[in-house]
Structure 1
Amino acid sequence: MDERKRDSIVAYLLRRMAEFDITPEAIAASIADDQRRVKAVRYRDAFGNGWDGEGVAPQWVVNATSAGQSVEHFAVQRAADASGNKRAVNWRDDPFAGSRLATIKPEYRQIP
């Protein structure tokens, strides 16, 4: 991105922030909340739906566990576990591997 385009975008953002009375501190707090929320996610499916493991399970977790999948299959992998070793996915334990459930995507979630 060239410098002129960047300056134009920054000026536009500053005008919009002033228009809606948004402070840089409010943006920083919002970003920090988002990052905290993302780090709190313990389970995630292939479509990016997340769950922190607390409270009522969302519908995607209920559907998967009803179909025989373990909730631990959806555990978010950290960069390294406590021992420093990376965890690997063992696809041989996936009950959906090779089935229609593994290949068909819901229409409402397809990305063009």
Structure 2
Amino acid sequence: MDERKRDSMIAYLRHRMEEFGITPDMLASALASDESEKTNARYRAVTGETWSGEGEMPQWLRQAISAGQSIEHFALSPKTAEKAQGKRAVDWEKDPFAGSPLARSSER
């Protein structure tokens, strides 16, 4: 993204935050709570969606269970959960090897 587009996006976001009464502290708090929800994941789908086991069961897990899959299949062990936290998302648009055997053979 070029500098002009970036500055324009920041100005737009600041304007919308002001319009809705959102302060930077409120935004930081919301982002921090999102991060804490991710760290408490007990179940994870292959797509990366997670569920802590609290509250309503997410649609992806309900569908898998109704299709015959066991909930234990999606359970994370403590080591797996720690490993997933440190994992970075892959930006496939910028990956020159996306879809090639080289992309599939490396450990992510």
Question: How big is each residue's C-alpha offset from its partner over 1:14-68, in whole Å with a ceiling of 9 and x where there is no partner?
Answer: 1111111110000001101111112112102235543212466556545545665
- Indicate the structure with greater helix content: 2
Structure number with greater Rg is: 1
Once the two structures are TM-superposed, the CA of residue 70 in structure 1 deviates from its matched residue by 3.6
Residue 78 of structure 1 corresponds to: 81
Residue 28 of structure 1 corresponds to: 28
* 1:1-112 pair list within 5 angstroms: 1-54=1-54, 57=57, 60-61=60-61, 64-65=64-65, 69-76=69-76, 77-80=80-83
Question: Which ranges in structure 1 are unaligned for 5 or more consecutive residues?
Answer: 81-112
RMSD of equivalent CA atoms: 2.7
Equivalent residue pairs, number: 80
Cα distance change on mapping 1:60 and 1:16 into 2, 3 Å: closer
Percent identity (aligned): 52
TM-score (norm 1): 0.54
Give the partner amino acid of 1:28: A
Aligned partner of residue 53 in structure 2, secondary structure: coil
Aligned structure 1 segments of 4 or more residues deviating by more than 6 angstroms? none
Report the Cα distance in structure 1 between the residues aligned to 2:52 and 2:70, rounded to whole angstroms: 16
Report the Cα distance in structure 1 between the residues aligned to 2:66 and 2:72, rounded to whole angstroms: 14
Residue 85 of structure 1 corresponds to: none
Report the Cα distance in structure 2 between the residues aligned to 1:9 and 1:59, rounded to whole angstroms: 33
Cα distance change on mapping 1:70 and 1:12 into 2, 3 Å: same
TM-score (norm 2): 0.55
